[in-house]
Amino acid sequence: MNALQLDAQQRLRHLITLDGLPRELLLRLLDRADALRGASAGGTRRLDLLAGRTVMNLFFEPSTRTRTSFDLAAKRLGADVLNFDIASSSTVKGESLIDTLHTLEAMHCDAFVVRHRENGTAETLARHLRSAARVVNAGDGNHAHPTQGLLDVLTIRRHRPDFAELTVLICGDILHSRVARSDIHALRALGVGELRVCGPANLMPAPAELPGCRLFDDFDTALAGVDAVIMLRLQKERMSLAQVPSEQAYYARYGLDPRRLRLARPDALVLHPGPINREVEIASPVADGAQSRILEQVENGVFLRMAVLAELLGA
Ligand code: NCD
């Protein structure tokens, strides 16, 4: 995949997955996000790094945070942004998707930001480009969500800069989570001390898909002494009926409530990519509590996406 994502000088050409990307590149993106936070005065000052460039958001799946975040990131760098809306994703696939790409390319776009329910869509589009446009994966199936992985480690790093000292736990519907996969790639690349993954057996992928992770099915045991816990949503839209647990039973075993949070380190960070389901995977007092970094993740996401777009478009 790096042959597609990196050019001969090891610069980022497309961002499809964090899997295999060099640690230096990830650090560079995180540093750049911090620099852009400063340069844009926390997002209040518009920059012109991407003036005259066009970014196209192609979201074939619903999104609040990610799409808005890419939209704002591009605009705050001075780019023109188009939001291409596709109401019914299932009818737009295969050849018609590539035809759509070529049609949009003919109008000239510098970057395509793509979300799709099928694994591999961003990669397919990157491989079929006829122009020098860049592709950013904004989430494909359960495969990857690289900017979410990066913004999660950016959020952790702002509080705990030394990853080697950290124990991080990811809990929930791991099987269907592209966020979990990208978080795992990012955390491992940055040398996290210990990485734990917890969820019910039927929502856990095969252990071979979770390299370098300690696996748990008991949430209390998994939480003991962690520095950060990343909670995930039950992604019912990706489940078969047999997989859907009762929300009450799930909350009883895997809900992060104030009692459970006390099992982690006293200052443990609580993250969630959103959208959150209150009282399904996380209790309101925890989601809204002093240890919650959920809205910081949203804030950091804009700077991180500014960094990715600036890097890809050579600004
Ligand atoms: C996630 C996604 O769409 O993968 N949300 C997001 O991008 N912030 C996680 C989810 O939908 O549960």
DSSP 77-137: TT-EEEEEE-S-GGGS-THHHHHHHHHHHHT--SEEEEEESSTTHHHHHHHH-SSS-EEEE
Mutation test residue for ligand 1: of 145, 181, 236, the one with most atoms within 8 Å of CB: 145
pTM of the model: 0.96
Q: Is the distance from the beta carbon of residue 137 to the nearest atom of ligand 1 less than 6 Å?
A: no
CA 64 / ligand 1 centre spacing (Å) = 9
**117: Cβ below 6 Å to ligand 1?**
no
With contact defined as beta carbons under 8 Å apart, do 119 and 140 qualify?
yes
- Its CATH architecture, for the domain 2-145+298-313, is 3-Layer(aba) Sandwich (3.40)
The reply to whether ligand 1 has any atom less than 6 angstroms from the CB of 233 is: yes
pLDDT tens over the chain, length 315 residues: 899 999 999 999 999 999 999 999 999 999 999 999 999 999 999 999 999 999 999 998 888 899 999 999 999 999 999 988 676 544 455 568 898 899 999 999 999 999 999 999 999 999 999 999 999 999 999 999 999 999 999 999 999 999 999 999 999 999 999 999 999 999 999 999 999 999 999 999 999 999 999 999 999 999 999 999 999 999 988 988 888 889 999 999 999 999 999 999 999 999 999 999 999 999 999 999 999 999 999 999 999 999 999 999 987
DSSP code for 207: G
Domain spanning 160-292, CATH architecture: 3-Layer(aba) Sandwich (3.40)
Residues of the chain with CATH 3.40.50.1370: 2-145+298-313, 160-292
Distance set, CA 290 to CA 125, 144, 256 (Å): 42, 29, 14
- Residue of 60, 66, 147, 234 to test ligand 1 pocket, by largest number of atoms within 8 Å of CB: 66
Distance CA 259, CA 194 (A): 23
Cβ pair 30, 155 in contact under 8 A:
no
